[in-house]
Amino acid sequence: MNNFEILRKNVADILQSIPSGVILVAAAKTRNAREVDAAVKAGIHAIGHNYIQEAEQMHPLVTEKAPWHMIGHLQRNKVKKAVELFDMIETMDSLRLAVEVDKHCANANKVMPVLIEINSGKESNKTGVLPENAIELIRQVQTLKHIRVMGLMTMGPRFGNPEDARPYYKITKAIFRKIKEEQIPNVEMKYLSMGMSNSYQIAIEEGANIVRIGTSLFGPR
């Protein structure tokens, strides 16, 4: 099989292994537009990017239509571009960033769906809001007119035993449930984005309905 045949088979295998209704985001970092087009044709649901510059270069070259999700840490000086390129920002983690996104969305006359990124491991070197601060952040972000909070995202550990990721997913799901119960105006707890190549099955067991997969689709980076 050539690389594109392998990619098509990988997409088919993963779609087979996840329940219908779970959104498969192809994590496209370091890949090229032909690979991303092939993945969309094969049935992935959304294209995930970590870096604005990479996304910007790829954007005109990708011809297949799918929603673009920002899944990497977003810097405030890149927000204007991000608002142009993306249909969802999965990595909202501060009010300062949200205010910037709101401003540029107002200028562009659009409303950006966002997920709040939870630092479920409470690691100081990781991005995301700490679990205990999530509700307060959401209460603040929901006042912004051009942002719509639609769920939560977390990273968890990328390598190691997939079971090691389960506690991180449980913590995030518990916050998801709690915020849903709060019924905060303008906040819809619809999407829970958790799980990568080595742990997406576990994430789905713990309630994920968005999984972000790179290696298991495209091969090693």
Ligand X SMILES: *Cc1c(COP(=O)(O)O)cnc(C)c1O
Query: Measured from the CB atom, is 121 or 214 closer to ligand X?
Result: 214
DSSP class per residue in 72-119: SPPPGGGHHHHHHH-SEEEEE--HHHHHHHHHHHHHHT--EEEEEEE-
User: 155: helix, coil or strand?
Assistant: coil
Give me the helices (H) in the chain, please. Answer: 3-17, 33-42, 52-58, 79-85, 95-108, 134-141, 166-182, 200-205, 215-218
**Closest C-alpha to 79, from 62, 67, 96, 59:** 96
Q: Does 209 bind ligand X (CB under 6 A)?
A: no
Can you tell me which of 115, 192, 204, 213 binds ligand X, judged by CB under 6 A?
Answer: 213
CB of 208 to ligand X, least distance (A): 12
Q: Does 172 bind ligand X (CB under 6 A)?
A: no
Task: Evaluate whether 198 touches 158 at the Cβ level (below 8 Å).
Answer: yes
Name residues contacting ligand X, limited to 34-53 (CB under 6 A). 50
Q: Does 196 bind ligand X (CB under 6 A)?
A: yes
Indicate the length of the chain as a whole number: 221
The radius of gyration of the chain's CA atoms, rounded to the nearest angstrom, is 17
Q: Does 214 bind ligand X (CB under 6 A)?
A: yes
**Closest C-alpha to 114, from 12, 193, 29:** 193
* Dist CA 120 CA 130 (whole Å): 7
At which residue do the structure tokens 């819809």 appear? 188
Query: Measured from the CB atom, is 29 or 103 closer to ligand X?
Result: 29
Query: Measured from the CB atom, is 144 or 213 closer to ligand X?
Result: 213
Can you tell me which of 89, 169, 197, 204 binds ligand X, judged by CB under 6 A?
Answer: 197
Instruction: Point out which span in 56-64, 122-130, 181-189, 208-216 binds ligand X (CB under 6 A).
Output: 208-216
Q: Report which residue's Cβ sits closest to ligand X.
A: 214
CB of 221 to ligand X, least distance (A): 7
Instruction: Provide the 8-state DSSP code for 69.
Output: E
CB of 39 to ligand X, least distance (A): 13
Q: Does 70 bind ligand X (CB under 6 A)?
A: no
Instruction: Point out which span in 32-40, 101-109, 142-150, 207-215 binds ligand X (CB under 6 A).
Output: 207-215
- Total binding residues for ligand X by CB under 6 A? 14
* Dist CA 82 CA 24 (whole Å): 21
Residues lying near ligand X in the complex (CB under 6 A) are found at 27, 29, 50, 71-72, 155, 158, 196-197, 212-216
